[in-house]
Amino acid sequence: MREYSIAAIPADGIGPEVIAAGVQVLEALEKRMGDVKFTVKNFDWGSDYYKKNGIMMPADGLAQLKPFDAIYFGAVGAPDVPDHITLWGLRLPICQGFDQYANVRPTKILPGITPPLRNCKEGDLDWVIVRENSEGEYSGHGGRAHKGLPEEVGTEVAIFTRVGVTRIMRYAFKLAQARPRKLLTVVTKSNAQRHGMVMWDEIAAEVAQEFPDVTWDKMLVDAMTVRMTLKPQSLDTIVATNLHADILSDLAGALAGSLGVAPTGNIDPERRFPSMFEPIHGSAFDITGKGIANPVASFWTAAQMLDHLGEADASARLMRAVEKVCAAGILTPDVGGTANTKQVTDAVIDAIHSSNI
Ligand code: IPM
Ligand code: MG
């Protein structure tokens, strides 16, 4: 029996609803596979915890998480707590403290989901966005002076280091190499930003030498939005800075039909720390408690977690089950269906147990 310990942090909004669904699906996989076991421990950190304790997680939070094999994360953000507090109190300290420098965001059009682009079919859009996750525009470097006065100044400094750019570039080239098309697009804004972004371009060219079988090209981030929309077939693996990839991955989710299906792995490729898996969609207060949140992103990110843990069979089985359920039209309202979270979850569990999956 292969055993894994998972730290679940459902946190805010629809996070608890979709993580509960994901844990049920992991239990179904345990039964179906027979040789793998997941021990899930729940952590009640997040905005409610903040309202009681004045902090998003305990001071020794990272030490508590460190022994786990992986972290399964819901969403952070509450209407009555500033977003920069929730974010910098929980999710970013985990990403940065555990040096989860590769944020991996696959997107494809799942069967049964009608994408918004008129001429885009299943198979035309099958991308993985690799987001630099430890520095760049999210380095937290900057400050404010002369607060409240007319001469007030605020700076938000993007930090790019040779180590940081080289390692994410290497990760992206390796990932591109492992995919059938061996195609990588490197995104920057090196026409307007002539320091850190030009260094990205130079490091991309250097790292490319290690991967002669990968075809790669460069795009400026503004032109990239046009290419993603008008020529989705021309892209496969994409690497970009923390902020650029944040924006491009929302566009990718929308082009694939909904942010409700988009997953993320926050990965420490060196495996010194647990990696963290989460849906991209956020806390979604407009639908919290209604039971209609799309659990597909949290299932897909569970599949990413299984892959990371080395359970490729369980991961593939989970994705086949999700695709079968989507193809059968059992979909939540965000992707044009009428099913609720429980109906989609139950259908995926049934599919996991069915003999042809
Ligand atoms: C994401 C989100 C976060 C980010 C927010 C919640 C700060 O948009 O995961 O894409 O920008 O990293
Ligand atoms: Mg985002």
Ligand 1 centroid to 243 CA: how many Å? 9
Instruction: Name the CATH architecture for the domain at 115-256.
Output: 3-Layer(aba) Sandwich (3.40)
- Tokens 């994408």 found at: 115
Please, are residues 276 and 266 in contact by the beta-carbon 8 Å criterion?
yes
Which atom of ligand 1 lies at the shortest distance from residue 282's CA? Answer: 6
* 161: three-class secondary structure by DSSP: coil
Q: Quote the pTM value.
A: 0.96
Ligand 2 centroid to 83 CA: how many Å? 13
Please, are residues 253 and 243 in contact by the beta-carbon 8 Å criterion?
no
Which atom of ligand 1 lies at the shortest distance from residue 243's CA? Answer: 11
Ligand 2 centroid to 32 CA: how many Å? 34
Ligand 2 centroid to 297 CA: how many Å? 14
The total number of residues written for the chain in this structure: 357
Site to probe by mutation for ligand 1, drawn from 96, 246, 250, 266 as the one with most ligand atoms within 8 Å of Cβ, is 246
Torsion of CA 231, 328, 279, 281, to 10 degrees: 70
Query: What pLDDT shows up at residue 17?
Result: 98
Topology match between the domains 1-100+269-356 and 115-256: yes
Please, are residues 259 and 250 in contact by the beta-carbon 8 Å criterion?
yes
Which ligand is the nearest neighbour of the Cα of 243?
1
Which atom of ligand 1 lies at the shortest distance from residue 103's CA? Answer: 9
Could you tell me the residue ranges of all domains in the chain? 1-100+269-356, 115-256
Site to probe by mutation for ligand 1, drawn from 76, 84, 91, 259 as the one with most ligand atoms within 8 Å of Cβ, is 91
Residues in contact with ligand 1 by the CB-under-6-Å rule are 87, 246, 280, 282
pLDDT in tens, the chain (357 residues): 999 999 999 999 999 999 999 999 999 999 999 999 999 999 999 999 999 999 999 999 999 999 999 999 999 999 999 999 999 999 999 999 999 999 999 999 999 999 999 889 888 999 999 999 999 999 999 999 999 999 999 999 999 999 999 999 999 999 999 999 999 999 999 999 999 999 999 999 999 999 999 999 999 999 999 999 999 999 999 999 999 999 999 999 999 999 999 999 999 999 999 999 999 999 999 999 999 999 999 999 999 999 999 999 999 999 999 999 999 999 999 999 999 999 999 999 999 999 777
CB under 8 Å, gap of 24 or more: what pairs does 328-335 form? 328/112, 329/112, 331/112, 331/113, 331/294, 332/260, 332/292, 332/293, 332/294, 332/295, 332/296, 333/292, 334/258, 334/259, 334/260, 334/294, 335/113, 335/114, 335/257, 335/258, 335/260, 335/261, 335/294, 335/296
Ligand 2 centroid to 80 CA: how many Å? 20
According to DSSP H, which parts of 133-240 are helical? 162-178, 196-208, 221-230
Site to probe by mutation for ligand 1, drawn from 84, 87, 278 as the one with most ligand atoms within 8 Å of Cβ, is 87
Whose CA is closest to atom 3 on ligand 1? 246
Ligand 2 centroid to 312 CA: how many Å? 27
Q: What is the CATH number of domain 1-100+269-356?
A: 3.40.718.10
Ligand 2 centroid to 281 CA: how many Å? 8
